[in-house]
A and B are shown apart, each in its own frame.
Chain A
Amino acid sequence: MTAPVLTPDVLVVGAGPAGLTAATALAARVGQVLVLDREATAGGIPRHSDHPGYGIRDLHRFLSGPEYARRLVDRAGAAGVEVRTAATVTDWSGDRSVEVTSPQGRFRVDAGAVVLATGARERPRPARLVPGDRPAGVYTTGALQNLVHLHGGRLGGRAVVVGAELVSWSAVLTLRHAGARTVLMTTTQRHPESYAAFIVPGRAVLRVPVATRTRLTRIVGRGRLTAVEVEDLDTGRRRTVECDTLVLTGDWIPDHELARSAGLEIDRGSRGPVVDTELRTGRPGVFAVGNLVHPVDTADCAALDGRHVADPVRRWLDSPDHWDDAGVAVQVDEPLLWAAPGRFRPGGPTPARGRLLFWCRDEIRSPRLTVRQDGRTLADRRMPWPASPGRIFRAPWSVLSGARADAGPVTVSVR
């Protein structure tokens, strides 16, 4: 049986905020745009993130996740984009062709350009190498919100949340909605990491004690979770906290399987594909946007990546012989873990929102950012905002303005 072949101008893999926004922007610039998503419903993570805080920078609204997802889907539809759901891209069959499984059959897509927008997920318990039993009742935020918001799950009892960043508070809200009380949040940091806006309602309204400098050391329970063991990193003292639910939040890893199986260069820190300021990967005609590239940003910023990629895709379709992916690499020193975009052409186009994005391991209240290239200092500035673990740290693109094309990688550090 030979598989049917679809031949859109652009294939977008992933119907989350980044993919849908890219498709909507592309529909106005190119011919046929096809979006594929493996989920039964388009919209990505916001579908099951049922609290307000979405759409601020891209739609200039303050929406709940599900509302935001619906709006993006509607806009794509109105723009003439074809969105196919329950369609899983399983493999590559050519530079810009993929194999797809769906209830309508197994088919192939040969596209002029491919935009990867496959998002990111949280590392589950095994990937964090947490020892102990393997009882039921251990979730990631994604699994929890799926269960509670899309499948009406109820929990009850006592919950422990690992992490104290934005997504962790989102988990606490979901737990409360599901009938569970969060008795403890833990973070290895000295301070809870989330936005101030969340800390206030978090502490005052939700009244959750946060154990800082604390790590999870063991999971206890045969069949059902009964307790976790946590360790104070400063004293080494361990204690047991009884609970029925454990939510492991944050610790993101991009859904990079298609990117990796394409053999794209992968950033060692983010584990996403390396892109340039036009979101181009190393493979001609293949682009990457959203949380796949910078795990994780807020949905609106992922969406704005999608908008940013439209012109470069159009340019590629117009002149496909033109794919100069040479450029200067952006490297980081710890505690920075990665930078995006990871490559740029001095004097070339600026990235989405004119920002250079980083992930920082530690909390730095008043970071001083230094950029060097080949022994020269290109920038040395005190930043007006903190660098916090668990969320993107941004710098204006101008910090790279003195870079030369022929002087090797630039290296960024913060203190």
Chain B
Amino acid sequence: MNHQPGGAGQPWDVAVIGGGIVGCAIARELSGRELSVVLIEARDDVGDGTSKANTAILHTGFDATPGTLESRLVRRGHELLGDYAARTGIPVERTGALLVAWDAEQLAALPALRDKALHNGYQHCRLVDAAEVYRLEPHLGPGALGGLTVPDESIICTWTTNLALATDAVRRGTRLELGFSVDTVHRDGDVTVLGAAGGATVRARWVVNAAGLGADRVDALFGHHRFTVTPRRGELIVYDKLARPLVQRIVLPVPTARGKGVLVSPTIYGNVMLGPTSENIDDRTATGTTEQGLEFLLGRGRALLPALLDEEVTATYAGLRAATENSDYVVHVDAAQRYLLAGGIRSTGLTAGMAIAEHVRELLAEAGLDAPARTDVPPPPRMPNLGEAFVRPYQDAELIARDPEYGRVVCFCERVTVGEIRDALCSTVPPRTLDGLRRRTRAVNGRCQGFFCSAEVGELLAAGTRGDATGAAR
């Protein structure tokens, strides 16, 4: 079965705009049907937008607003992605979470949160007293009054998730168009023509808008003015792996109207993360950190986990949530226009991505794009393990004996081997930049941030692509 369009000039059945988690999940889902699919991404890699810079928690949805689409899709996504992770090797650590109340008001809010969790179909929350809070997390700062456990909140690798979905989509026949920023839209009969700045075009019968921070602008190209994205910046500090023993689970604040507040959590790479901040801004590209943001986080960290501040900082970064005037996801299909919008996927899209994709497929089917499931879908990809809690190539004696390149450590801090870099460079969706390589291997992500290895990693990348070795350090 040929999943490419019939011939030159023939339109694709579906064009998906946006190579983040949501767009990749949708492309993967649709290419599991008898459909030709093209996935269009403005940047030179998948997963280079909000999907690369979040807190990487696989949420249960315990605290969503009951009855919303988000609540339903997060719960479903938790299940779908949990399963998919097990099949593809996306690392997940079932750490659980602990909400901690630091004042009387927060303490009083906990029972209602437990009840909300019940409304959301989540039944495992448990109220605990202060003594139990400190038994679970002995390094927390003084003043905790009580807590609520959420045993199924987990940490996951957002980079591998995005990449697995993209890889799966491509292996199922999705065509990946990188470096294509959709700037114009026009109709040609029953075909939509998407145009990029340089004059390149993509023709498709149906279009799905999963453009994240750009979803309102793409929506406007289709003549709609239904919402505006207001980027909500979240800054984060990642601490050294030597801090990892200080915290065993995701320690959450009691949520406020402004978001989930500052959390402290282990990361899947064996570090400790502190953040995020929450600040509405205008600039959709402002992913830099700020003096005020970092200072605020240090203040929170000092109160939450005082010993953390004695440890070294490995990384700081910021991500932008695609907040809109709606508090729920905005998923609408326009059958006449053959156009579907999946926007406003603000702060839970990593978890919900696969469920959003399933929902999108159902909506498209109702709107007339109903294609049978393929019988020949390839098995999902096996992803390289980036999780610190699972065996990595440098630890695998048998693997090294078979192929010595897995014993040649090139990034010392993260213990990334030449074998892994080589594999990434010849994978289904290879990196084109050092950042792309980092997300696939963890190389240069460690405590030295390239003091020892950036030049060498840059050279390996340049050998594998036409990359630029001086782009190595940052």
Contact present for B455 and A103 (CB under 8 Å): no
| Interface size classification for chain A | 35 or more
Contact present for A88 and B434 (CB under 8 Å): no
0 or 1 for each of B134-148: is its CB under 8 Å from A? (1 = yes): 000000000000000
Contact present for B451 and A126 (CB under 8 Å): no
Contact present for A147 and B473 (CB under 8 Å): yes
User: How distant is A145 from chain B, measured CB to nearest CB, in Å?
Assistant: 9
Contact present for B451 and A217 (CB under 8 Å): no
Q: Could you say which of A1, A131, A151, A260 contacts B455, with CB atoms under 8 Å apart?
A: A151
A413 within 8 A of B: no
Contact present for A127 and B291 (CB under 8 Å): no
A121 within 8 A of B: yes
Question: Once bound together, how far apart are the Cα atoms of A251 and B447, in whole Å?
Answer: 14
Contact present for A121 and B448 (CB under 8 Å): yes
A122: B residues at CB distance < 8 A = 451
Contact present for A103 and B449 (CB under 8 Å): no
0 or 1 for each of A151-189: is its CB under 8 Å from B? (1 = yes): 101110000000000000000000000000000000000
B290: A residues at CB distance < 8 A = 131
A106: B residues at CB distance < 8 A = 394-397, 400, 407
Given A122-B451, A124-B448, A131-B289, also A101-B473 (CB < 8 A): no
B405 within 8 A of A: yes
- A125-140 contacts to B, CB under 8 A, are 125-127, 129, 131-140
Q: Could you say which of B408, B452, B459, B473 contacts A136, with CB atoms under 8 Å apart?
A: B473
B224 within 8 A of A: no
A123 closest partner in B (C-beta): B312
Question: Interface segment, B112-120, B215-223, B313-321?
Answer: B313-321
B404 closest partner in A (C-beta): A103
B169 within 8 A of A: no
0 or 1 for each of B425-460: is its CB under 8 Å from A? (1 = yes): 000000000100000000000011111111110110
Contact present for B409 and A38 (CB under 8 Å): yes
Contact present for B473 and A139 (CB under 8 Å): yes
Given A131-B294, A134-B317, A253-B312, also A88-B394 (CB < 8 A): yes
Question: Once bound together, how far apart are the Cα atoms of A166 and B417, in whole Å?
Answer: 33
Question: Once bound together, how far apart are the Cα atoms of A158 and B396, in whole Å?
Answer: 45
Contact present for B474 and A137 (CB under 8 Å): yes
Contact present for B407 and A103 (CB under 8 Å): yes
User: How distant is B442 from chain A, measured CB to nearest CB, in Å?
Assistant: 15
Contact present for A147 and B407 (CB under 8 Å): no
A147: B residues at CB distance < 8 A = 454-455, 458, 469-470, 472-473
Sample of 7 A–B contacts (CB below 8 Å): A1-B397, A101-B394, A101-B400, A102-B407, A131-B289, A134-B287, A143-B449
- Which 9 pairs between the two chains have the least Cβ-Cβ distance? A124-B449, A103-B404, A147-B455, A142-B451, A106-B397, A146-B455, A136-B471, A133-B288, A103-B407
Residues on A lying within 8 angstroms of B by beta carbon are 1, 3, 38-39, 86, 88, 90, 101-106, 121-127, 129, 131-140, 142-144, 146-147, 150-151, 153-155, 217-219, 222, 253, 257, 260-261
